[in-house]
Structure 1
Amino acid sequence: MTVAVVLLATALVIVVALLTAAGAGKLAHMDGATYPTALTRAAVAFAAVITLATTAASVFATLLT
């Protein structure tokens, strides 16, 4: 049961990160950024969401242990 919960949570975090990256890239392109710049901003947003999720997971693991 625990493995299933971890896999589902990981999948949810990845989906949210991808949606955030797509939104950031689209907004950057609508703002007049070139495609490479918009892709860079999308990658930074994706990395930020993954980093935030990892940090939150480690804090929760520390508190629950």
Structure 2
Amino acid sequence: MSEVAAVLLIAMLVLVLAVLGAAGAGKLARLDGASYPTALRQAAAAFAAVIMLAAAVAAAAGEVCC
């Protein structure tokens, strides 16, 4: 597998996981009784947190591997 294909595959996997995490956070917020804007804000925060965590792991792996 080429490096470009591997990077694209990993990027798509991270995006799918971020969307799933955001959807779960929004659903849990709504089940807890939060309003729609509050649930959307919590979902956006969860999405950003997953993306930031993936970036941090990628940066750390880049320092260790290369």
Aligned to 2:11: 10
Aligned to 2:56: 55
Give the length in aligned residue pairs: 65
> TM-score of the superposition, structure 2-length normalised?
0.98
Aligned to 2:24: 23
Shift of 1:63: 0.5
Query: Runs of 5+ in structure 1 lacking a partner?
Result: none
Aligned to 1:42: 43
User: Taking every aligned residue pair, what percent have the same amino acid on both sides?
Assistant: 57
C-alpha RMSD of matched pairs (Å) = 0.3
Runs of 4+ in 1 over 6 A off after TM superposition: none
| Alignment deviations for residues 1-44 of structure 1 (CA, whole Å, 9 cap, x no partner) | 00000000000000000000000000000100000000000000
- The separation in 1 between residues aligned to 2:55 and 2:36, in whole angstroms, is 28
> TM-score of the superposition, structure 1-length normalised?
0.99
